[in-house]
Structure 1
């Protein structure tokens, strides 16, 4: 079974420190502006089209809660946001969103506390170390309800990431490429149903 080496663990630790500094300095504030709007709109569209009403949603890579900001209260049964950065989670918790919790966790080790109707890898899957990506995906899928949906958003090509979702447990429902209004950035998004 693949495991993280000590060097991998060191690099993950350094990344955590860097992201906390960046969130604190406002480096990720742009996630709330119009550049990211097409990506978030596509995620919301996938949730609306393929999930039940008042779904329980797990947002992996939630940052400061931007996806929760864009969701209408009536559309959510429960929302749990997970992010690597302590600072971003503190900010998300300060918003005091209805039916929502936010927690700091490392996706390399994280095990969701309950089953969810929707799980979103929100620009997070490609940060998971190659050696354990399949293992992490399997652990996360274990907490996705049968017929629940998995949404993955990946900046640009996400080299080497998409093959992990081509597995018998998942049926691809849609796959889209969306670009920012000025075309300066693009994302690929897939939505899958758990069989």
Structure 2
């Protein structure tokens, strides 16, 4: 990223922290989101190994942890850009889970994971960095690990990055609100 892009990235981080402080993202707990989280969990159960280690990119306040039974996984690492959201997630003391604040553009996991989830995060990656971020995360996926991608609505400029991977499953989670839906796919290298 050039200097201007870095400045815009800093501004986004400031805005995200402010939004999490004010409760702007509390809507992620609305019942309308439940099927999206359930789909992610079902993809883990149906396509992942038993007791996987999970990396949740875009973990926010740990909402996925509110849905997933800790007996399903061996270890859970949630990462988000907003330190405010991560502090809120840490305060919930989820079992077998830890949370870190990091910028997805530069984040390097300290281990390999059986499941990596781009949880409403990939479309926030700067266009010039998308392939590098994807390649870095795939390098931290275990053999036979799975990648789950959840994108709100169309995700223009995102899905083509996953075309080279083997698609195991894909669905559109629709709601009764016309323009509220998610596309969710699960992939292997």
Q: Which category describes the TM-score, using the shorter chain as reference length?
A: over 0.9
Residue 183 of structure 1: how far off its partner (Å): 4.3
Task: Tell me which of 101, 107, 112 is aligned to 1:110.
Answer: 107
Could you list the runs of 5+ residues in structure 1 that have no partner in the other structure? none
Q: TM-score, normalised on structure 1?
A: 0.95
Residue 148 of structure 2 is aligned to residue 151 of structure 1: yes
In structure 2, the residue matched to 1:171 is: 166
For the pair 1:186 / 2:171, whether they are aligned, the reply is no
Matches within 5 A, 1:104-143: 104-143=101-140
TM-score (norm 2): 0.97
Map Cα deviations across residues 4-55 of structure 1 (whole Å, 9 max, x no partner): 0111111110000000000000000010120211111110110110011211
Aligned partner of residue 59 in structure 1, secondary structure: strand
Measured in 2, the distance between the counterparts of 1:184 and 1:137 equals: 27
Query: What's the counterpart of residue 7 of structure 1?
Result: 4
Q: For 1:139 and 1:155, how far apart are their aligned partners in 2?
A: 23
Q: Which runs of 4+ in 1 moved over 6 A?
A: none
Which of 54, 59, 81 lines up with 1:57 in the alignment?
54
Distance, in Å, in 2 between the alignment partners of 1:102 and 1:44 is 19
8 Å CA contact 1:37–1:180 kept in 2: the answer is no
- Aligned counterpart, 2:67: 70
What does 1:60-99 correspond to in 2, within 5 Å?
A: 60-99=57-96
Gap regions ≥5 residues in structure 2? none
Matched residues, number:
189
- Provide the alpha-carbon RMSD of the alignment: 0.9
Deviations 1:49-86 (A, max 9, x none): 00112110000000000111111111010000000000
**Distance in 2 of aligned mates of 1:78 and 1:70:** 15
Q: What CA distance in whole angstroms lies between the structure 2 residues aligned with 1:72 and 1:181?
A: 27
